[in-house]
Amino acid sequence: MSSSAFSLTALFPAESFAITQGEPVIGGLRGPTRHYFCPSCLTWLFTRPEGVETFVGVRSSLLENPQLYPPFMETWTAEKLPWVTTAAAFSYEAFPDPSEFPQLMERFQAVDKRN
């Protein structure tokens, strides 16, 4: 997956996510993490991460008001272009250790101004 310096994703509880129209297709990466695309234009729509059944990663740019979802955490910075910067509060060279997620979720809830 390429074509941008960023791969913006907002995580949502799986039970609050529903496909309301059409049938997405799985993209070129065919591993255990499933990336779903529009069958017509092949736009990346959402991801169901391997081993994580409680969350769905939705492409932030597809949301009705993407400005309400600024980056909170950036991952895979070991592969980023040197000039890429975000305002994310947390930065990881890969993914954070799963043991860090409860604290990250608490920190996010403390700063989330959408509710």
List, for residues 62-102, the tens digit of each pLDDT value. Answer: 888 888 888 899 998 998 888 988 889 999 999 888 888 88
**C-alpha to C-alpha distance for 61 and 69, rounded to whole angstroms:** 9
Torsion angle, CA of 38/1/107/62, rounded to 10 degrees? -30
What confidence score (pLDDT) does residue 115 get?
60
Query: How many residues in total does the chain contain?
Result: 115
Residue 20 reports pLDDT greater than 60? yes
For range 28-50, the mean pLDDT: 85
pTM of this structure:
0.76
Which of 66, 96, 55 lies closest to 6, judged by CA? 66
37, β-bridge pairs: 25, 44
Distances (CA, A) of 37 to 19, 25, 29, 80: 12, 5, 11, 23
Residue 46 confidence class, pLDDT cut points 50, 70, 90: very high
Half-sphere CA count of 62, side-chain side, radius 13 A: 14
What confidence score (pLDDT) does residue 5 get?
67
